[in-house]
Every structure is written in structure tokens, then in C-alpha cells.
């Protein structure tokens, strides 16, 4: 089968790496891809929002499956676009319908969904610009810190956590006045949850589901979780605190009601569900310290979570995705690599603020790194590179984004996987390179 993967980040590089290992994958195309994805398939110069071009390309290349990496095309209805065209509708699309993608596209929708299905989440209310005074009264009923969320997509920047009521009121005004454009025309105000976060990924065909390896994202730029938020500076998997007891609660209280709720509401969903969870450290509502609650839904894989999750999936991903699209995911096996994996993201100096692009990168051909499609035995001793923001310029590979390249390593423990990724991170050179040296260290046993 010919497969088209949409996206251009580290997530898509990791998905491409995994798809290309499947005997069921004949030709893989990545639109638009990056300098790393071209090791696994053919990059195609089409943007993820160009639905007409994507449709034409699928016809020309006899594409049997589209795997959607980022949220934008899902929220904008790529699923419905393909299924609504008689020439394209037989193509399997991995990702939710536009209506179901509202779980990520609208925080107000997601909160309403969780409330309707009794899924544990922070108490909340939503307000528009005409309800500012009412919103302030609601803020006064909450305890500091105050959590304000732009309802719509805001490139991961739409959540503000404010220490004082004064700041919360001020920022609320600014949000309602268009701080995030149309995305903050509605603002969700919610209760602050205290605890430790993890990312749980679920693959569903709309009825059955598989829970993929759990990851922990390190979002802050600085070591020890300090400084501004980024798209993600690294990840580790497994997450020791997401033990059997915790995951049992996740499955019973969150995964099952989410999938049942989607069905009940007629929301078509065949793809990845990303549950941003928190293990609360104190009792809240009817829940107890140690219980999972939902911080957010995303309708795609995480980045850089995917860079640790894909390497830990031993089963054929194409086989699993066929199960997703064909409704027989229960017939497919999910084998997970027992080893730990740690991803360290190398970023451009200045990120997440302003940074320069076009810096020549070297060191990626070191024998410590696997090259191209690999056998499991090969990856045991080496690290895997997943390109994120890279581009080819003449004969060189240059930086082309804030997050540049991910180094993923396996190890018998998180510490050993981290140590190996550190060796890899040192070998890659580009001007301004920065990375965190403590990914997974707080959890390492
Ligand atoms: P989101 O964009 O929804 O992922 O939110 C970004 C980050 O804000 C999350 O990863 C959490 O660290 C934090 N956050 C969001 N909602 C809450 C909440 N209710 N309580 C505490 N932290 C939160
Ligand atoms: N790493 C978090 C995300 O992909 O949203």
C-alpha cells in the first residue's frame, strides 16, 4: 500500500521511520517532510493545509492511507474532505473527523464533553467578551494560581497560569480583547490542578482501542523545569509513576468513557487520541491524591512524545493503522519494547524566543547513529536521530526551526538511555546548539 504522511516535524520523522519498517508499506510519501524524512520516503512539496493538492496527489499516486501528523488539518476537516469526495473516499484516513477534532480545536467543547461523560477534569466555566464581569466573579471563587485557556488553537501558547487575582483579571481582559486572535474570543477559566503530568496515547478504531506506551514530556527550556514553555525539550518512556494501578484508573475512568462518549455523540474517530493527564498530588472534587485527571485532549500524537513512543512499539504500525481504519483493531497485536527510551531535543540558541536559522549541522553520520531503516538489533547499540526543524541546502543539512533534531536512545533503565542520548547530543554540532541534560532524571530509578 502507498501511504501519505502529512507533516514536517520530529513527530512525522518518527512516524515515517516506523511506517517505513513495515512490509505493508510500499511507497511512503511525506508532505512536506523535512531533511530527515527523506531517508524513509519521498518528500512532496505540498503543505498540510492544501487539501485540493493532497487529494489530487492521492489519486495520482494511488494512495491507500493518509496518516495525519499535526492538528491543524484535522481541526480544519481533512477527514471530511477525503470522505466527502467519491473519488477519494476509499482512502483510509488516520485521524478524527472535523467534529471529533473539536476535542483539541475547542477547549470549551472538550470541557463540555468531559462533563457530559463524567471524565475527571478541573472544574471550569467559559466566558466571552460580554461576560467579563461574570468571569471575574468566577475567578474570585477559585484559589490561586488561576488557569486561563484560549478556547481555540493557539500554537500551544494559549494557556496562562497566573499567580494573583489581579494578573488573572488583566490577562483575561487581554485574552478576550484578542491576545490570541479569534482563538481567545472565548476563554475557559478552570481550577488549578497540582501534580505531575504524563502523556497517554490511545489508538482507536472508534470502538476498540490500544493504549500505547506512556511518555513524560519536559516542556520548559531550562533544566529542573525552569524558564519558559517550549514545544517540548525531551521525553522519556516508560513513566514509572504511571504504574498498573494508575493505568487501570486511566483506562476505566478516562479511556473507556472517552471512546464511548465519542460513539454516543456520533463523533467519528479513527486515529490517535492524546490524553494530557495529571496525577494529582492532593484530593480534589471526589478524586484522591494519586488519581489521574485530564488536563487536555489532543487529536494527534505528541511531539516529541512520538520520538519515544514509536521506538517502543515493536508491532507493525501499518498493521495497527489498518485495524484503526477497518474497525478491527481488536484483532491486532500491540507488542511493546520493554526497554526504556529517552529523547533529547537539540534546539536553536534563543528558542523559544527568537533564534537564527540556516546553521550548518554536522556529526549526524557518526557511527553512533543508526542510518535509514534499521533492524531492531541495530538500534540496540546506537541512537536514532529524528529530524524536526532541518532543511537541505546544497550538500549540507541546516537548521530550519527552533526544535532542530531529536536524539532517541534505548537503555535498560531511563538513566542509561539518557546517558546514551547525551553522548549523541554532544556529537551533533551546529552554532547555538542547546539541550537539556536532565530528561527523565527526576523519574530515573
Ligand atoms: P495545554 O495547552 O492545555 O496543554 O496546557 C499547557 C500546560 O498548562 C499543561 O501542560 C499544564 O502544565 C498546564 N495546565 C493546563 N491546565 C491546567 C490546570 N487546570 N491545572 C494546572 N496546570 C494546568
Ligand atoms: N509535546 C506536547 C504536544 O505535542 O502537544
Q: What is the pLDDT of residues 173-191, one digit of tens each?
A: 999 999 999 999 999 999 9
What's the whole-model pTM score?
0.97
Q: Report yes or no on 344 lying in a domain.
A: yes
CATH number (domain holding residue 242): 3.30.470.20
User: Which of 310, 331, 352 is the endpoint of a domain?
Assistant: 331
Question: What average pLDDT does the segment 108-130 reach?
Answer: 97
Q: Report yes or no on 115 lying in a domain.
A: no
Do 212 and 288 belong to one domain?
yes
**Ligand 2 pocket check for 298: Cβ under 6 Å:** yes
Domain assignment of residue 315, given as a range: 198-331
- Contact between 27 and 52 (Cβ < 8 Å): no
Least confident among 87-101, 208-222, 365-379? 365-379
**Ligand 2 pocket check for 270: Cβ under 6 Å:** no
For residue 124, give Cα distances in angstroms to 27, 153, 196, 290, 365: 47, 18, 20, 21, 50
**Ligand 2 pocket check for 302: Cβ under 6 Å:** yes
Do 399 and 433 belong to one domain?
yes
How far apart are the CA of 43 and the centre of ligand 1, in A?
34
pLDDT of 375 reads 67
> H helices then E strands: how many in the chain?
14, 23
| pLDDT over 70, % of the chain | 98
Question: What average pLDDT does the segment 291-305 reach?
Answer: 98
Nearest CA to ligand 1 atom 5: 159
How far apart are the CA of 55 and the centre of ligand 2, in A?
27
* Ligand closest to the CA atom of residue 277: 1
How far apart are the CA of 441 and the centre of ligand 2, in A?
20
CATH number (domain holding residue 412): 3.90.600.10
Q: Are strands 159-162 and 146-150 parallel, antiparallel or unpaired?
A: antiparallel
**Ligand 2 pocket check for 217: Cβ under 6 Å:** yes
Q: Report yes or no on 151 lying in a domain.
A: yes
**Ligand 2 pocket check for 305: Cβ under 6 Å:** yes
Cα–Cα distance measured from residue 289 to residue 281, given in angstroms and rounded to the nearest whole number: 5
Q: Report yes or no on 440 lying in a domain.
A: yes
Do 170 and 212 belong to one domain?
no
pLDDT of 376 reads 62
Do 232 and 298 belong to one domain?
yes
Q: Report yes or no on 114 lying in a domain.
A: no
- The CA-based dihedral angle spanning residues 360, 366, 372, 378, taken in that order and rounded to the nearest 10 degrees: -160
pLDDT of 372 reads 78
Do 318 and 206 belong to one domain?
yes
**Position 166 pLDDT exceeds 70:** yes
Do 156 and 233 belong to one domain?
no
**Ligand 1 pocket check for 188: Cβ under 6 Å:** no
How far apart are the CA of 304 and the centre of ligand 1, in A?
17
How far apart are the CA of 159 and the centre of ligand 1, in A?
7
Among the atoms of ligand 2, which is closest to the Cα of residue 298? 5
Cα–Cα distance measured from residue 116 to residue 138, given in angstroms and rounded to the nearest whole number: 21
Best residue for ligand 1 mutational test, from 158, 159, 281 (most atoms within 8 Å of Cβ): 159
- Average pLDDT value over all residues in the chain: 96
Q: Which of 135, 156, 134, 157 is nearest to 146 (CA)?
A: 135
Cα–Cα distance measured from residue 241 to residue 238, given in angstroms and rounded to the nearest whole number: 9
Nearest CA to ligand 2 atom 5: 302
pLDDT of 445 reads 61
B/e letters for 396-420, b = 16+ CB within 10 Å, e = fewer, are ebbbbbbbbbbbbbbbeebbbbbeb
Among the atoms of ligand 1, which is closest to the Cα of residue 217? 10
Cα–Cα distance measured from residue 127 to residue 131, given in angstroms and rounded to the nearest whole number: 6
**Ligand 2 pocket check for 232: Cβ under 6 Å:** yes
Cα–Cα distance measured from residue 146 to residue 183, given in angstroms and rounded to the nearest whole number: 19
| pLDDT over 90, % of the chain | 95
pLDDT of 120 reads 98
Question: What average pLDDT does the segment 55-79 reach?
Answer: 98
pLDDT of 388 reads 97
**Ligand 2 pocket check for 352: Cβ under 6 Å:** no
**Ligand 1 pocket check for 193: Cβ under 6 Å:** yes
* Ligand closest to the CA atom of residue 161: 1
pLDDT of 379 reads 67
CB-based contacts of 360, cutoff 8 Å, min separation 6? 396, 397, 398, 430, 431
pLDDT of 162 reads 95
User: Which of 160, 190, 220 is the endpoint of a domain?
Assistant: 190
Do 202 and 325 belong to one domain?
yes
Best residue for ligand 1 mutational test, from 194, 295, 299, 300 (most atoms within 8 Å of Cβ): 295
How far apart are the CA of 158 and the centre of ligand 1, in A?
10
Question: What average pLDDT does the segment 31-56 reach?
Answer: 97
CATH number (domain holding residue 141): 3.30.1490.20
Question: What average pLDDT does the segment 249-258 reach?
Answer: 98
**Position 437 pLDDT exceeds 90:** yes
Q: Report yes or no on 112 lying in a domain.
A: no
Do 224 and 293 belong to one domain?
yes
Number of domains in the chain: 4
Q: Report yes or no on 45 lying in a domain.
A: yes
Do 295 and 326 belong to one domain?
yes
User: Which of 331, 366, 393 is the endpoint of a domain?
Assistant: 331
Do 437 and 367 belong to one domain?
yes
* Ligand closest to the CA atom of residue 69: 2
pLDDT of 25 reads 98
Do 153 and 277 belong to one domain?
no
Do 129 and 249 belong to one domain?
no
pLDDT of 382 reads 87
CATH number (domain holding residue 65): 3.40.50.20
Q: Report yes or no on 109 lying in a domain.
A: no
Amino acid at each position: 500500500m502507498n501511504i501519505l504522511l502529512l507533516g514536517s516535524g520530529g513527530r512525522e520523522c518518527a512516524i515515517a521511520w516506523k511506517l517505513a519498517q513495515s512490509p505493508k508499506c510500499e511507497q511512503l510519501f511525506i508532505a512536506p517532510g523535512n531533511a530527515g524524512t527523506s531517508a524513509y520516503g519521498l518528500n512532496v512539496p505540498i503543505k498540510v493545509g492544501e487539501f485540493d493538492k493532497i487529494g489530487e496527489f492521492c489519486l495520482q499516486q494511488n494512495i491507500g492511507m493518509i496518516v495525519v501528523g499535526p492538528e491543524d488539518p484535522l481541526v480544519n476537516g481533512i477527514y471530511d474532505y477525503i470522505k466527502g469526495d467519491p473519488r477519494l473516499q476509499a482512502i483510509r484516513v488516520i485521524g478524527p473527523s472535523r467534529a471529533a477534532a473539536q476535542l483539541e480545536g475547542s477547549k470549551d467543547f472538550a470541557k463540555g464533553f468531559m462533563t457530559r461523560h463524567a471524565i475527571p477534569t478541573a472544574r471550569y466555566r467559559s466566558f466571552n467578551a460580554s461576560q467579563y464581569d461574570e468571569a471575574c466573579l468566577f475567578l474570585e471563587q477559585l484559589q490561586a494560581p488561576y488557569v486561563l485557556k484560549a478556547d481555540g488553537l493557539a500554537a500551544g501558547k494559549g494557556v496562562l497560569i497566573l499567580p494573583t487575582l489581579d494578573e488573572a483579571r488583566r490577562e483575561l481582559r487581554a485574552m478576550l480583547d484578542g491576545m490570541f486572535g479569534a482563538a481567545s474570543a472565548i476563554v475557559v477559566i478552570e481550577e488549578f490542578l497540582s501534580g505531575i503530568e504524563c502523556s497517554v496515547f490511545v489508538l482507536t478504531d472508534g470502538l476498540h482501542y490500544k493504549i500505547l506506551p506512556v511518555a513524560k514530556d519536559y516542556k520548559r527550556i531550562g533544566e529542573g523545569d525552569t524558564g519558559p514553555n517550549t514545544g517540548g525539550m525531551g521525553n522519556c518512556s516508560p513513566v514509572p509513576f504511571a504504574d498498573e494501578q494508575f493505568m487501570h484508573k486511566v483506562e476505566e475512568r478516562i479511556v473507556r468513557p472517552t471512546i464511548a462518549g465519542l460513539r454516543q455523540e456520533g463523533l467519528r474517530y479513527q486515529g490517535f487520541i492524546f490524553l494530557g493527564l495529571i496525577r494529582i498530588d492532593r484530593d480534589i472534587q471526589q478524586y484522591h491524591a494519586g488519581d489521574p485527571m485530564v488536563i487536555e485532549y489532543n487529536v494527534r500524537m505528541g511531539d516529541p512524545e512520538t520520538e519515544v513512543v514509536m521506538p517502543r512499539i515493536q508491532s507493525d504500525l501499518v498493521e495497527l493503522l489498518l485495524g484503526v481504519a477497518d474497525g478491527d483493531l481488536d484483532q491486532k497485536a500491540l507488542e511493546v519494547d520493554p526497554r526504556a527510551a529517552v529523547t533529547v531535543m537539540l534546539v536553536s540558541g534563543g528558542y523559544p524566543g527568537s533564534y537564527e536559522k540556516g546553521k550548518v549541522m554536522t556529526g549526524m553520520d557518526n557511527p553512533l547513529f543508526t542510518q535509514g531503516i534499521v533492524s531492531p538489533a541495530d538500534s540496540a547499540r546506537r541512537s536514532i536521530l529524528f529530524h524536526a526543524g532541518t532543511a537541505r541546502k546544497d550538500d549540507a543539512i541546516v537548521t530550519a526551526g527552533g526544535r532542530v533534531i531529536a536524539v532517541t536512545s534505548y537503555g535498560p533503565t531511563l538513566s542509561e538511555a539518557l546517558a546514551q542520548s547525551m553522548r549523541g547530543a554532544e556529537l551533533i554540532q551546529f552554532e547555538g546548539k542547546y539541550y537539556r541534560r536532565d530528561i527523565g532524571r527526576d523519574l530515573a530509578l
